[in-house]
Every structure is written in structure tokens, then in C-alpha cells.
Structure 1
């Protein structure tokens, strides 16, 4: 229970190391030929697992979703003139693939901080009970939503940040240039900055470690979804309809999972407003 308040003894912290070592063993032993990786230091094993896992999620989600929306259900979801070209998707894949090793330094760093006792992470939900687990999870998600909103907004408002970092992503500014593969097509530092609220939250909010790891990788799935131009219309979810507006106006819908921050800070623009204007 000591880890909930920060720190924790060596025996307690060893449980985090054992958990990440288990992740490494389960994943790397199935995807990496041979056992050479076992000779790597523990942080490098974790970085390798995070990197390969990131590629796997990115390509699995991207290709699966492209198959569904651009081939299998192409007449049901989006107009033909909104389908991105193969060339645009190739460029997005190249940008994301180059950045992935650096993206995955962030979850590796967060794991190291947890294993070192610098955060308020805890190992088992039973340490706090399900009611408090849900309270802490809600606080974590609110903090992340707030942090990503303002980080994203400042990447637009601070001109050097936009010019040298965020513009790499905003070359995809029309429906026929957006695709699921655009979701991780960022300058590496841009991607890290937008995900870093997940790490800051660990210092402030007691967080279940396994939930934190899962939420980091859900980011990759989520960004695939909001760049596919298909609007699910499930309030208050910040679906692709909202995010497509962000890519076309540059000044609206900075939020992440929900529309609440944009509503609170006056930057929300509804997809229905665009349709009415058209």
C-alpha cells in the first residue's frame, strides 16, 4: 500500500520489475527469433517490447481498418473522393515508422520511474479496492484529457512548436489525405509531448500500473480511429468527425477522447455546423 502514496520498499518495487519482466518474456519470446534479447539490460528489453508492440498495433489497426473502410465497406462509409491515395498512406507509414522507436522511449521511461518508486503507482487493485480504483481512474483520465488538450493547443498557438514539430502532422489537412495511418504520423518529439500527460499523472494520482500500460497502447488504437474520417456520433466522444474538422480549420477540436475540454474552453466546433454551412 505504500506505493499508493509514492515510494515503497524494495520488496514492493520488485513486483513492478517482475511484472514488466513477465511482459518482456511473454511478448519477446514469441516475436523475436532466438533468445539474444535476454542478454540485454532490463530497460532495453522493455524498450524493444514497447517498440515492437507499437509497430504491431499500428500496422494491425491501420491495415485492418483500411481494408474495412476503403475496400470491404467502401460504399457504406465514405465517398470515393474522400479515400486517400496509396502514396499518401505510404508517406504516413514512413513518418510513423521512423518515429516509433522514439515514441516508445516514453513508456519505457515511465516503466523505469515506476520500478524506481518515483511515482504513485500501485500493483494490485485490491490495495485500494474497486471503488477507489474507479475514482483514481476517472481522475487520471480527466488529468490526461486536460493535459493533452492544452499540449495540443499550445503546439498550434506557439508558432515555433507548430512550425518545427506539429506541421509534420498537419500536412494531412483534407479528408482525402487523412487515413488511419496518419494517426501516428508525427514528428517524434510532437508525439512524445502529446502523450506525456500520461506520465505526469503518475506523480499526482494513484494509478494501477497495468491500467497505465494498457492506456498508453490504447493511444495508438485511438489515434487510428480518429483519423479515418468516419464519425460515430457518440456524444461526448471526440470522434473522427470532430478531428477531421481540426485538420481542416486548425483552430478547433483539440481534445482527445471527449469534446468536454473544447466545450469548456470555447474551441468546440460540431460536425453538424460544417454540414449546415456547406
Structure 2
């Protein structure tokens, strides 16, 4: 791994400025952007990017499952009401400015050489990139599982933070728009393992940014109540059980942490029981 010389760190700054130009140039006049410090432009880019990803993923997925494929995946009487979805959008939009602060902070730490991020996959090679990515994702799975579980087990945290999300506890109230409908601190805490991993594992910076924004797409998917039946993915079938029992399926992308710590409930087995 290369040293953290200023010339090397400038690669990260140049990359983040490029992302900022892509997102802000079509939307914000240069005369408005120029007076803003780098961190403010970064936050604005993350905010606009987060809003776009949230609405694009939410609207496209809702259109597909509730209108285009109406009654194919979700019975008519289980489609969430427009009122429920608008409430979820309202909660998510209140939190979005705060969500955008987390990638802004992580980028600042990367640009200042505080993390183990590297700029190009060529620096480590594809085999080591794959190894590091698997470790990164495994640590995130572990961290998100325990963060989510403790938000349930520590009652003051549940009451003050996580209960905001769990008002959506039935199939006819859950929708893709519920994916980011959290108390702002709750949403940030559940994403913090992504940032912690930057200090523990050599991480490709672009991959880290992509994975953070993939969270918005993934959380939309796991709140649509459709069981994808793709083992070992912790899809919506598992997450719907979490919203109805509150004590199972805390995991993120896969079922391994719930299996390891005894909190897994399989939707296939639940359907056989008639639950």
C-alpha cells in the first residue's frame, strides 16, 4: 500500500470533485457552487444523489410491483395505501440531510489519510481486492446485525430511535419507501459499520462509495414484502418477518449472522406453519 503523501491523497480529492461535478453541474450553477467549501459541496452532492437514488428506486419498484404487475406479487388488499407511502417519504426526507452527513464525513477522513482506503484496484490487484471486499462485507454484516439488534434490545434506544421505523409492521403498510424511513440517528448508526471498516480493512474508495449508495436500493427492495427465495440472501421475505415479530432476522445482505446467533426465521418454514 502506498504511503499517505499529499500527492497520493490528492487522488481521492480529485475523485470526489469529479463525482461532485457529475451530480451538481447539471443542477447547480457554478457561480453558486464556487463560494462553497469542498465539504459543503460534498454534502450537497451526497444529499442530491441520495434523494435521486431514493425516489428512483422507490418509484420504479412501486410502479413495477403495485401497478404493472398488480396482483402478481402482492395481493390487491395488501398493497400499501398512498397515505402510508407518503408518510414514509416524509420521514425519509426529514432524515436525508442527516444521512448525507455520513458519507461526507467518511470522504473527509479518506481525503485526509485517516483510513486504509486505496485509490486504484491496480495497487493491490484483483485477487487481493476480492479478499479485502469479502472481509469488508463480512465485517459490515456482523456490525449491522449487532447495531440493529441492539437498537431493539436496548429499550431506550428502541423507544427514542428505532420505533420510528417499526410503525410499519404489516404487509399493507410496508413499501419500498419505508427503506429509509428512520429516525436520522437510527439510519446513521446502522450505516456506521461501513465507515468503521475503512479503518480496519484496505478498501477501494470507489467501491466504498458505491456500497453506501447501494444501501438505499437494497433497503427499498427488502421492504416490498416479496420473498425472492435466493439463499443465502436476507431478502424481503425475511425482513417482513422482522417487522412482524421484532425479534428475528436482524441481518443485512445475508442470513449468516442471524443463523450464527440464533435469531433466524425462514419465511418458507413460516408459510408451512400457516403463520
The TM-score bracket by the shorter chain reads over 0.9
Give the corresponding residue for 2:37.
41
Give the corresponding residue for 1:240.
236
Would you say 1:139 and 2:135 are equivalent positions? yes
1:69-109 CA deviation, whole Å, 9 max, x = no partner? Answer: 11000121111111000000010000000100000100000
Superposition misfits of 4+ residues, deviation over 6 angstroms: none
Would you say 1:2 and 2:2 are equivalent positions? yes
Give the corresponding residue for 2:195.
199
TM-score (normalised: structure 1): 0.97
Give the corresponding residue for 1:13.
9
1:269 alignment partner, SS class? coil
Partners of 1:168 and 1:186 within 8 A in 2: yes
Cα shift at 1:274: 1.8
Give the corresponding residue for 1:273.
269
Partners of 1:156 and 1:162 within 8 A in 2: yes
CA distance in 1, matches of 2:69, 2:21: 38
Structure 2 counterpart of 1:212, from 208, 213, 217: 208
1:146-165 CA deviation, whole Å, 9 max, x = no partner? Answer: 00000000000000000000
Q: Give aligned pairs, total.
A: 274
1:108-128 CA deviation, whole Å, 9 max, x = no partner? Answer: 000000001000000000000
Runs (5+) with no aligned partner, structure 1: none
Give me the CA root mean square deviation: 0.8
Give the corresponding residue for 1:77.
73
1:170 alignment partner, SS class? helix
Query: Counterparts of 1:1-278 in structure 2 under 5 Å?
Result: 1-3=1-3, 8-33=4-29, 35-278=31-274
TM-score (normalised: structure 2): 0.98
CA distance in 2, matches of 1:65, 1:32: 28
1:162-183 CA deviation, whole Å, 9 max, x = no partner? Answer: 0000000000000000000000
Runs (5+) with no aligned partner, structure 2: none
CA distance in 2, matches of 1:2, 1:208: 13
Cα distance change, pair 35–228 in 1 and its aligned pair in 2 (3 A):
farther
Cα shift at 1:233: 0.5
